[in-house]
Amino acid sequence: MPDDLSPDRFAVHRHRTPSGGDLAYLRENPGGTPLLLVHGWPETKRIWWRNVAPLAAAGFEVIVPDLRGFGDSSVATDGFYDAAANAIDLHHLLHDALGHERCFAAAGDFGGVVVQELGLRHPGFVTAQCLFNTILPPLREAYAHAGIAPGTPERSRMASDYFVRQGTDADGLAAELDTPERRRRYVGEAYGHRFWATPGAFTADEVDFMTEPFGDAERFRAGLGLYEAAMRTRPVAAPPAWGVRSDVPTVALYGPDDHVVWPDFPERCEVAFTDLTGPYVVPRAGHFLQWERAHLLNQTLRGFFGRFGSPVR
């Protein structure tokens, strides 16, 4: 089995969060400069398999969690799956358990929201961040002032049909997907015909690898909780800090083959971040840039974070 597709490639550690949940995470090259890599949906820490070893070799202490309810982590004992709940978990892991006063961070999709929340909720903790194909804060007036028009209804329906169902009828969806095979097939659509990724970016074996953790019924249902929190059909742990412009130094990347994130993502980044490098459009990449263009992302993280004193080797 190729290393890219081995679930046992890296040692998995566990951390008990303040809420009583069990957070699973990777930690490679302890003692390096801490770098947090955060997955989104429909992902687990496995989406970072092509990044961990090269970034550890570059001098980073690479920390890759499974968010609550995903992968090897337990479901949320308090029932919260919003960005604030996850940011609280990650701050407790990195700061209280691992002893880091600050870190670098990189993320896409919902992980990007969690990283933004982490940097705003704990000012100074995230030294710099790399964000790609994620959700940006709802700064409607600021976007409009910058000449960025709202999305068209047609694009909204195409991009958000899954989002609305998962956020408003999670129990019904979970009841329909009543076998591991059905759950995995549903999740696998995001890697294939729904065109989140560049066509052909994932082989059948790679889709199997990414979807395997979602075969578990309890974790599949838990993962939908982040959409319920976003749609306000589930309570949130705390009012979000996310939702305002961020002054965390940010490099923004965009995979244009993504049919989920709005195509004006680069323009919106120019409004959302006051200290922005880029945004850079990455050809032959879609939603899963850390897998589709792993080497390019690894080099970007080395170069950008190196500006802030990272010991790049």
Cα separations in angstroms, 60 against 97, 127, 144, 310: 18, 14, 39, 8
pLDDT given for residue 310 in this prediction: 63
Mean pLDDT of 5-12: 96
pLDDT given for residue 82 in this prediction: 98
**Average pLDDT of the chain to the nearest whole number:** 94
Residue 214 lies in a domain: no
Look up the CATH number of the domain holding residue 250: 3.40.50.1820
Instruction: Please give the Cα distance from 248 to 239 (Å, whole number).
Output: 20
* Cβ-proximal residues to 102 (8 Å cutoff; 6+ apart), any chain: 34, 124, 125, 126, 127
| Strand partners of residue 107 | 38, 131
Residue 86 lies in a domain: yes
pLDDT at position 313 over 80: no
pLDDT given for residue 154 in this prediction: 47
pLDDT in tens, 198-231: 999 999 999 999 999 999 999 999 999 999 999 9
pLDDT in tens, 262-312: 899 999 999 999 999 999 999 999 999 999 999 999 999 999 999 998 654
Residue 278 lies in a domain: yes
pLDDT at position 88 over 50: yes
Instruction: Please give the Cα distance from 146 to 165 (Å, whole number).
Output: 32
Instruction: Please give the Cα distance from 278 to 272 (Å, whole number).
Output: 12
pLDDT in tens, 159-174: 668 899 999 999 999 9
Residue 206 lies in a domain: no
Residue 163 lies in a domain: no
pLDDT at position 84 over 80: yes
Number of domains the chain contains: 1
Residue 103 lies in a domain: yes
Q: Which domain holds residue 22?
A: 3-149+237-306
Residue 183 lies in a domain: no
Residue 160 lies in a domain: no
